[in-house]
Structure 1
Amino acid sequence: MKPPMTGVAAVRAWLESDEFIAEPIVAVDGKQAPLVFDLGEGSLDLGEPLDGLDTARFSQLVERSMQQHKVRIAYGRWGERRALYKSEHFTAGNEARTVHLGIDVFCAPRTQLAAPLDGIVDIVANNARELDYGPMAILKHTTPGGQTFWTLYGHLGEECLSSLRSGMPIGAGERLGTVGAPPTNGNWPPHLHFQVILDLLDLGREFPGVAAASEQDRWLSLSPNPACFFPQVNAELLDGRSRFGKPG
């Protein structure tokens, strides 16, 4: 695996600056207070332990909580250590991967998604393994200073596999696709996994959305908190590291 590229600090600084403006990925109702789930290890936020839940029950708990709070959109935290990842896709190797590298946007299947920034479709693929991304896309962007970075969209509807193609330009606010549904979305509750990537490391469609805890500092630096794309939510609420200690 090649080392991270230079210039990632400049991309991160731009994302955190007042100059950064993004179009909404999902249309939101500004009158609703944002609902942010705690899906971390040991959490009972959805009413029962999450460890070992099958997709059907997990989906039921998510839907029930959203109905109770009278919201149509809920969020899952970046940097959160979770016990949800039990398939071989996450447990192969010496250490299971548990640290979430993106933000989840839970909403109804077929919810319309838009590109937040001007870019180019770099990758569109179907990672069809159990609990993988399912249909996914990666967009390539360029900052005003000329630095390159990417945004990843996982668990999409299957129509993106025909509507998007590598090299296709896409404008901010243009239709990207829809939220998928199980089992074709990787067999997860309906949601978008959104992730910023400062360097793809030549990993392409296999860039991880979850990292091992022993390597979290490196991976969270390559995929920083994308809260700036969701200004309607307090950034601190979307930072799941607080329960387990923030990396230095």
Structure 2
Amino acid sequence: MTHFLDILKNLKDVKVIDASIDYSLYTPIQLAASNKDLTPSVLKDAEAFEQYIENHLAKNKAKVAYGGYLETRNLYKRSTVFNDAITDERNIHIGLDLWIKAGTAVLAGLDGTIHSFQNNTALGDYGPTIILKHQIEGITFYTLYGHLSLESLDNKSIGQTVRKGDCIATLGAPPINGDYAPHLHFQIIQDMENKKGDYPGVCSSKDLPFYKSNCPNPNFLLKI
């Protein structure tokens, strides 16, 4: 794990959305359950949620809002994907979210190949999703790009080569993107556990030790 984190930390100039937007125009955003401005009416309405994001960007004179790794959120309470009668509630976010308008270009963070892709259509899920496979210094790992436009899955094939900085997708709008305000869910995964086109982006507190290890902070790579 230490060697893998060192690899991520040593990689330079990585962007996963519109390369023309400088990191100086990014601003952090906090969407944890402790944020009292995120009322149920905002969280359940993609349009109201998008307006909340837009207001935050305007206030901070920014183009992209980012954050959310290991954040405990109420955002998922509306969906049975994260809450059912059998399993523990999943409400801890294990990727990094980048909030910006639908249609924004999504870029391959690193050289690699397409591992898998799929439209995860349930309410609150990823919607169109692409997973890339990477190999650096003998270590294989994966990056997941969720909440894409439906057109992003066109002309894709498993094993297809991608280069760092290639536009591989665009951000989707609700309801195609899982019915969220437009954003990219970006996640690093070491072991895909034989999954294809999908991988948990939210976990329960009981499973957090495993997912924290298997899905390290994407900002080790992005360095926002």
Residue 192 of structure 2 corresponds to 200
Identify which of 25, 39, 57 aligns with 2:31. 39
Match of 1:246 in 2: none
Shift in CA distance, 225/50, structure 1 to aligned 2, threshold 3 Å: farther
- Following superposition, the deviation at residue 165 of structure 1 comes to 1.7
> Aligned with 1:195: secondary structure?
strand
Deviation at 1:10, TM superposition (A): 3.4
Q: Which residue of 1 aligns with 2:38?
A: 49
The aligned counterpart of 2:70 is 79
Amino acid at match of 2:80: E
Find out whether 1:152 has 2:144 as its counterpart: yes
Gaps of 5+ in 1: 1-7, 234-248
* Corresponding position of 2:58: 67
Residue 22 of structure 1 deviates from its aligned partner by: 4.6
Tell me how far apart the structure 1 counterparts of residues 109 and 160 of structure 2 sit (CA, whole Å): 15
Q: For residues 81 and 30 of structure 1, do their structure 2 counterparts lie closer, same or farther at Cα, with a shift above 3 Å needed?
A: closer
Partners of 2:49 and 2:169 lie apart in 1 by 24
Matched, 1:219 2:219: no
| TM-score in terms of structure 1 length | 0.83
Alignment of structure 1 residues 127-206 onto 2, 5 Å: 127-143=120-136, 145-206=137-198
**d(CA) in 2 for partners of 1:85, 1:129:** 12
Q: TM-score when scaled to structure 2?
A: 0.91
Provide, for residues 120-149 of structure 1, a one-character-per-residue CA deviation record: whole Å limited to 9, x for no partner: 001111001111000000000001x21100
- Per-residue CA deviation, residues 173-197 of structure 1 (Å, 9 max, x unaligned), is 1111111110101111000000000
Match of 1:29 among 22, 40, 45: 22
Say if 1:168 and 1:130 are closer, same or farther in 2 by CA, change over 3 A.
same
Give 1:171 deviation, angstroms. 0.6
Change (3 A) 1:30 1:96: closer
Contact between 1:100 and 1:211, CA under 8 Å: does it hold in 2?
yes
Shift of 1:13: 3.0
Q: Following the alignment from structure 1 to structure 2, what is the Cα–Cα distance between the partners of residues 101 and 159?
A: 26
Letter in 1 for 2:47: A
Name the counterpart of 1:242. Answer: none
Stretch of structure 1 that moved more, 49-58 or 77-86: 49-58
State the SS of the aligned residue for 1:123. Answer: strand
Q: Is the 8 A contact 1:72 1:108 kept in 2?
A: no
3-state SS of the aligned residue for 2:110?
coil
Cα RMSD (Å): 1.6
Q: Where do 5+ consecutive residues of structure 2 fail to align?
A: none
Q: 1:83: how far off?
A: 1.0
In 2, the alpha carbon distance for the partners of 1:182 and 1:195 equals 20
Which amino acid counterpart does residue 70 of structure 2 have in structure 1?
A: G
Residue identity opposite 1:41 in structure 2: A
Paired residue secondary structure (1:97)? coil
Structure 1: distance between partners of 2:109 and 2:168: 9
CA contact (8 A) 1:11 1:148 kept: no
Count of aligned pairs: 218
Percent identity for Structure 1 against Structure 2: 33
